Amino acid sequence: MTLTEFTAGTQTIDGTYDTGQPLGTVDVTAVADSWFALPGQAVAIAGLGILSGQNWLVSTVSRSSLFVPDLTVTLTAPQPSFPEPASGGAKAAVGAGFNAPGGDQTAAGTAQATAAAAYAMRQLGKPYSEAVNLRLGPSYFDCSGLVYEAYLSAGVTIGTTTYSQWPTGSGPKVPAGITNLKIGDLVFFANYPGGPAEHVAMVVSTNPAMNTAQIVEAANPSAGVIRDTFTPTIGAKYGGQLYLGATRPAQ
């Protein structure tokens, strides 16, 4: 399936190009009757510069109501590798109506960390299911299972539960502070200060100016695998939990 903006049922195509990120993301609005690519299938984009010339993976397809003819589709694809200054990624907007938060910069992780982050991003939209010490991927994930499978796909073995991943089972601790986080770092959360790790997610980008980081996580049974933003300050609240710190499985 090849998409062309404002043609054949495709309405808008909005996307980002950022050499500091493991994956690019494109948001498409389309008429439901014209769309036939399912999550996990590949599509191409024509006539939109840097977004064209590669296959994009369908991540999610949603529709606000059966009575609304439009679909919202999210596409992802690995970003091409280009030389990049040490200050971080250079971002540009492509497509009509694009509106993205500015200032995202992420120090690149190792090849294994970037590959793990790309795997985790490909799982967006998949359902949550909890099973201690049981590998559920690639159809279902709990929080520790998602990051375990992501790193296993990159050739790195870590603990299978949050209790075994934090604080020593998934590489050395990362010094506190937004500027120390890199792609692929694992971030952990507890129910009370100093408590055991109850939740884990993976960093996919940071915004030092705003002191925020974007993460991919298997959140809970109602949300599944999502991308979200949190403040990486030790003790800061995220949902009903507190941030413990980060580890780096791939050096």
CATH classification at residue 204? 3.90.1720.10
In this structure, the strands spanning 55-62 and 42-46 are antiparallel
Whether 36 and 126 map to the same domain: the answer is no
Q: Is the pLDDT of residue 103 over 50?
A: no
The count of domains in the chain is 2
Asked if residue 103 is part of any domain, the answer here is no
Share of the chain above pLDDT 90, in %: 39
**Token digits of residue 171:** 């590489």
Which of 241, 192, 251, 193 shows the shortest CA–CA distance to 215? Answer: 241
Q: Is the pLDDT of residue 100 over 70?
A: no
**Token digits of residue 7:** 């043609």
| DSSP string computed for 134-172 | ---TTT-B-HHHHHHHHHHHTT----SSHHHHTTTBTBP
Asked if residue 139 is part of any domain, the answer here is yes
Whether 38 and 70 map to the same domain: the answer is yes
Under DSSP, is residue 79 helix (H, G, I), strand (E, B) or coil? Answer: coil
DSSP state of 7: S
Q: What is the mean pLDDT of residues 146-164?
A: 93
Q: Is the pLDDT of residue 206 over 80?
A: yes
Asked if residue 99 is part of any domain, the answer here is no
Dmax (CA) of the chain: 56
| Most confident option among 32-41, 127-136, 152-161 | 152-161
Asked if residue 102 is part of any domain, the answer here is no
Whether 119 and 207 map to the same domain: the answer is yes
Whether 82 and 126 map to the same domain: the answer is no
Asked if residue 181 is part of any domain, the answer here is yes
d(CA 93, CA 123) in angstroms, rounded, equals 24
Lowest mean pLDDT among 47-56, 75-84, 134-143, 157-166: 75-84
Whether 131 and 199 map to the same domain: the answer is yes
Whether 203 and 150 map to the same domain: the answer is yes
- Among 69, 94, 119, the domain boundary falls at 94
Whether 85 and 118 map to the same domain: the answer is no
Q: Where are the beta strands (DSSP E) in the chain?
A: 2-4, 10-18, 23-31, 42-46, 55-62, 70-78, 91-94, 173-174, 186-190, 197-207, 212-218, 225-230, 237-238, 241-247
Whether 219 and 137 map to the same domain: the answer is yes
Whether 77 and 135 map to the same domain: the answer is no
Asked if residue 56 is part of any domain, the answer here is yes
> What's the pLDDT score for residue 99?
29
Under DSSP, is residue 178 helix (H, G, I), strand (E, B) or coil? Answer: helix
pLDDT confidence tier of residue 158, bands split at 50, 70 and 90: very high
Instruction: Name the residue range of residue 12's domain.
Output: 2-94
Q: List C-alpha distances in Å: 222 to 171, 178, 226, 230.
A: 30, 29, 11, 19
**Token digits of residue 78:** 């690995």
Asked if residue 100 is part of any domain, the answer here is no
Whether 236 and 162 map to the same domain: the answer is yes
- pLDDT (tens digit, 9 = 90+) per residue, 30-59? 888 888 888 878 888 887 776 776 788 888
Q: Is the pLDDT of residue 232 over 90?
A: yes
> What's the pLDDT score for residue 86?
36
Which of 210, 203, 216, 47 shows the shortest CA–CA distance to 123? Answer: 216
> What's the pLDDT score for residue 85?
36
Q: How many CB atoms lie within 10 A of CB 49?
A: 12
- Among 60, 94, 128, the domain boundary falls at 94
> What's the pLDDT score for residue 151?
94
pLDDT confidence tier of residue 94, bands split at 50, 70 and 90: very low
Asked if residue 64 is part of any domain, the answer here is yes
> What's the pLDDT score for residue 87?
33
- Among 94, 129, 158, the domain boundary falls at 94
